[in-house]
Structure 1
Amino acid sequence: MAELVEEAHAVPGVVSVLSAILARVAERNDAAGRPVSPRHLASAFRGLARPAISVRGYLERIFRYAGCSPACYVVAYIYLDRFARRHPAASFDSLNVHRFLITSVLTAVKFMDDICYNNAYFAKVGGISLMEMNHLEIDFLFSIGFELNVTPAIFSSYCSILQRELYLQSPPPPPPSTNLHCCLTEDGSSSRQQKQGAVQLIFFGT
């Protein structure tokens, strides 16, 4: 199991899997060519050109410099899903996904963490101006109806979604073959718990 324990500076699985999901959604919407109305809330997040940095590279940059807890990325995902559910006509694509990411993480950090960097710092991390960061935050809050509270049950359900996606992308290696006779039960529940524990290590990087 030692190979599953990530170093403190390593990128946790939740960052990798969230970036993979959003990159896939953005590519699909790029291919579909869904237009965004100038009057739509999503238009505030739309850039003029596709950023040179990938979605994964951008989210890893946020992770390296923002210093927020891994749980914030789960909450950011919840907020993005709330936006999508409230505004089904909008879509995440390569022209807006980066701004949605930095804004949703900023919002999640302020709700989740006791100590966090200010908007000016997040603007530098995200490569945008402070004025734009402030406007994006306000637009995002209004667009999700200031629905920021996340219950433990909702948090757990979204963790399960992300963990399942992570497991499909890179299933953890099986436990050592030695002493398996001591771990397995008749219904295999212990093996399932080991597998879930392995995924948890990768997911949060703990």
Structure 2
Amino acid sequence: MRNFMFDFDGTLADSGEVCTIATQKAFIKNHLPAPTKQQVLDYMGLPIETFFPMLAPQASSKVLDQLFDDFRMYCTQFEDSGTKLFDGIVPTLKSLHDAGKQLFILSSNSSTTIQHHLERFKIDHLFNEIVGSDMVKNFKPDPESVNRVVHDFSLQRYQSVMIGDARYDLQMGKNAAVQTCGATWGAFNVASLRDEQPNYLINHPQQLLNI
């Protein structure tokens, strides 16, 4: 592989606790039953615009908009203390970069949030492009994010791989006709990754150096 497309939350960064706390607090603030940690983690990989309506199907558009705002507010409060890179991520990214590979992040998080964390961890220079949920019209598993970087960087799809911890990442990769790689180290549901039959299923970031 020459082109590595990463999900961020749950793949590069361990941030599940932040997402869970922010979601539960936002729901409670808006007088809605707080979803369980398992419910929140199962939807990680999708943007909140997609999965909040699933968790609160009776909520009006006005309430949903308030939920989105409150979620982002709580994330801002907890994201720095609650977000860290998984072990082995930094040396793996540096090795890929030094080998001339092109690295991208395709995330359901906002591009500004991702950029903030990349700068905080001093790895922003390793990536060619970040595509956040605020930069596309169609969210995962739609292939828009992948197609965007394939087009902008004139990538060969057979030399490109989408790496993620959630089934939605793998579905997006499949829909874009690139290779797919399930990352189990941050996955909430490894069985769901296997069910997608990815081209690769790996347990450690360093294994990316051999695909």
Greater helix percent: which structure? 1
Answer whether TM exceeds 0.5 for this pair.
no
Higher CA-based Rg: 1
Q: If the TM-score is normalised by the length of the shorter chain, which range does it land in? A: under 0.3
Question: Which structure ranks higher in relative contact order (CA pairs < 8 Å, sequence separation ≥ 6)?
Answer: 1
Q: Normalized per residue, which structure has more strand?
A: 2
Q: TM-score, normalised by structure 2?
A: 0.25
Return the TM-score normalized by structure 1.
Answer: 0.25
